[in-house]
Structure 1
Amino acid sequence: MTIKGIRFGAICVDRTEERKWSFRSKGSFDVNSFARQHFEGGGHFNASGGRSSKGLEQTILDFKAILPAYQLQLQ
């Protein structure tokens, strides 16, 4: 991640059978734990992935609902 001030990024790809997530972080935010806890995923501390079997719209709503719990960690 090379955008100044950005510590966490996520991309969601809508596949026919599921939604695939890619998470990246810079610094001390553990996207491996984030993916494991919320999106049946995992990987590395600063790079991980996950998935959701819910529809795209619900998956995005769920993601947005989770973010406030991490606000302090992402500042």
Structure 2
Amino acid sequence: MTTEISGGEALRRQAATFPIVLVTVIGQAVGIWATPETAGRCEGLAASLKPTITVPQHTRSQFFRVTPLVVVI
């Protein structure tokens, strides 16, 4: 059994959905704006683009054992 939706009904459903999506997106924007930055500041453009990678001490041996396999794949 299929239920057909008339053009007017589809428009009403769409009109009811838009405010919900709008409120959700605005709420997410406010949440992002209110969240503090977790990365440290670097002086200069080049310094801010330089990636830094650290591997925790207790996982380094496993990391370096698996790295060649990851590079090959």
| Same fold flag (TM > 0.5) | no
In which range does the TM-score fall when normalised by the shorter chain? under 0.3
Structure with higher helix content: 2
Q: Which has the larger radius of gyration?
A: 2
Relative to the length of structure 1, the TM-score reads 0.25
**Which structure would you say has the larger RCO, counting Cα contacts within 8 Å and 6 or more residues apart?**
1
Relative to the length of structure 2, the TM-score reads 0.25
Structure with higher strand content: 1
